[in-house]
Amino acid sequence: MGSLDGKVAIVTGAAQGIGAAIARRLAADNARVVIGDLNLQGSSKVAEECGHGAFALKLDVGDPESVGDFYNEVEAKAGHPDILVNNAAIVPFIAWDEVDFDHWRMIMRVNLDGVFLMCRAGSDRMRIEGTKGRIVNICSNTIFAGTPNMAAYVAAKGGVLGLTRSLATELGGHKITVNAVAPGLTASEGVLDSPHKEAFDFVEMLQAVKGKGTPDDIAPIVAFLASDEAHWITGQTINVDAGMVRW
């Protein structure tokens, strides 16, 4: 606790689930957390739980204008960002035969374009300020498992992995690290309210460590990668899935 003293941390998609757990954990480590989410009511409640001057702003990660306005407001209220956690995502359940281009673009707009836009604006500001920044992208172990009914999602998250590796190379000279965390099936509100909840028993059979993953199982590794202690780690994607995927 206290390892993020004086840091400003942006977490997208943190009105609930994994994002909310990450926001609370970063705040517990004394970061000032800024939550960006379309659900301003839910994200404001999480910000209140965080304390330490946390606040929420409305953000559409797939809209360049919204992203620009968001960063301007963050800097006006809290100063330049030190940490960026790209968590916002749509998690669909749709068979391949039903995937059309509109669905594909909807998923890509948020899950991949949104990561690009947030990284573009965030890394530019970190470099201008000379910040030894930390970018943590939330990926997914579905890219290794090839999970069905999620083709566009898996493709987008595969793009997040590739972008993470490339940005680590591009930004390393500025002392900015870029890593990804790949959760497995996690008992978040969104998952428990979807057909994905039926997969827990099957997934647990594949896990090395038995049990049901929760958002609080994901947050600590994100907090570590956001800290100064992780300054020598970049370009990595870390599975946090109880050993379901071993690579």
- Which residues on adjacent β-strands are paired with residue 238? 181
For residues 68 and 231, give the distance between their C-alpha atoms in angstroms, rounded to a whole number: 27
- State the residue for tokens 């968001």: 70
Starting at the earlier edge strand, list the strands of the sheet with 8-12. Answer: 55-58, 32-37, 8-12, 83-86, 134-138, 177-183, 237-240
- Cβ-based neighbour number of residue 4 at 10 Å: 25
Q: What's the distance, Cα to Cα, between the start and end of the chain in Å?
A: 30
Active site residue 153: yes
Residue of 71, 116, 144, 153 marked active site: 153
Q: Which residues are catalytic?
A: 153
